[in-house]
Structure 1
Amino acid sequence: MAVLREWVFGTQRVSLESSDILWAKIRGSFSEPDVRELVRVFRELEAGPDKPLYFVVDLSDSNPEGLSVAPRKYLAEHVRPGWFHAIVFFGASRMHREVLQALVVALQFVDDTKLEAQFVDSEAQARAWLEAHRRRREAAGALKGHA
């Protein structure tokens, strides 16, 4: 799909693919300055309950040890679950999965809002999951409209 907008900071690349799908390609370590830039992108896009995003994160070229403490803390303090329809991770190591699952749980306690996060193996699976999730959301919205 075509890229509408792109941000590059350090070795990280973030792309807006449609009005509500943001992709991140993580290379190497994801540092606290990288996380600060990512949060700035969310704010620039006005992510929030009125304009939630799908956030897809490609971890296949990232540091296999996962996210260090400082970036996790910054994310927990500055990101809100209501900014997202869902988050999809692919290419994650076991360590990534454990750390990111813990972060998702922590974020849910901050706002008492469910944050749906999915781990898949490939970009193709991420795209298929996104489309299925979007169809479920649209169907649920149509049902609410007829109630």
Structure 2
Amino acid sequence: MVEKAREWKYGAHRVRIEPPDIAVATFEGPITMDDVKRTSEIYKEVFTVLGPYYILAEIGRSQIEAAGRRYLSENNRSEWFKGCVYVGADIVQQTFGKAISLAMLFTGKSSFETTFVKTLDDARAWVQQNRARSQRKAG
């Protein structure tokens, strides 16, 4: 599927589509439960538009409570994602990011890779490498 660039803004956060198969989510400051629910709705909507996609989540300047992490792990689906790249995560955020991904894998129908990088450019480079690996596997 081909989709033009599209963006959602809510509070201090935003999600934007970068065709053909990337969504960039940028989080600033506290992530409330309402923000978490909206994020999950948007992630699902992006999946209905693009099919499986790469999520690049800039989380280095944000914080999320345990209830929000639990909500994400219970309501996001692994089949929505080709890969999840956390940008700018500290060690605590990395731990929680892995836990969320692992929970989605246990409840989902497909697997995806989760990785952590320092910059958005690094995230885009990882996506290119992941695409190349996937194409080699597909033959």
Check conservation: 2:5, 2:16, Cα contact below 8 A.
yes
| Helix, strand or coil at the partner of 2:104 | helix
TM-score of the pair, normalised by structure 2: 0.88
- Aligned residue in 2 for 1:129: 126
Q: CA deviation at 1:112?
A: 5.8
Q: How many residues align?
A: 136
- Aligned residue in 2 for 1:91: 88
- Aligned residue in 1 for 2:99: 102
Deviations 1:56-77 (A, max 9, x none): 01123223xxx31221121122
Check conservation: 1:47, 1:84, Cα contact below 8 A.
no
TM-score of the pair, normalised by structure 1: 0.84
RMSD: 1.9
Structure 2 stretches of 5 or more lacking a match? none
Structure 1 stretches of 5 or more lacking a match? none
Please list, as runs of the form range in 1=range in 2, the aligned pairs for 1:41-60 lying within 5 A after superposition.
Answer: 41-47=42-48, 51-60=51-60
Higher share of residues assigned strand: 2
Check conservation: 1:47, 1:53, Cα contact below 8 A.
no
Distance in 1 separating the partners of 2:75 and 2:56:
18
Check conservation: 2:55, 2:83, Cα contact below 8 A.
yes
| Helix, strand or coil at the partner of 1:119 | strand
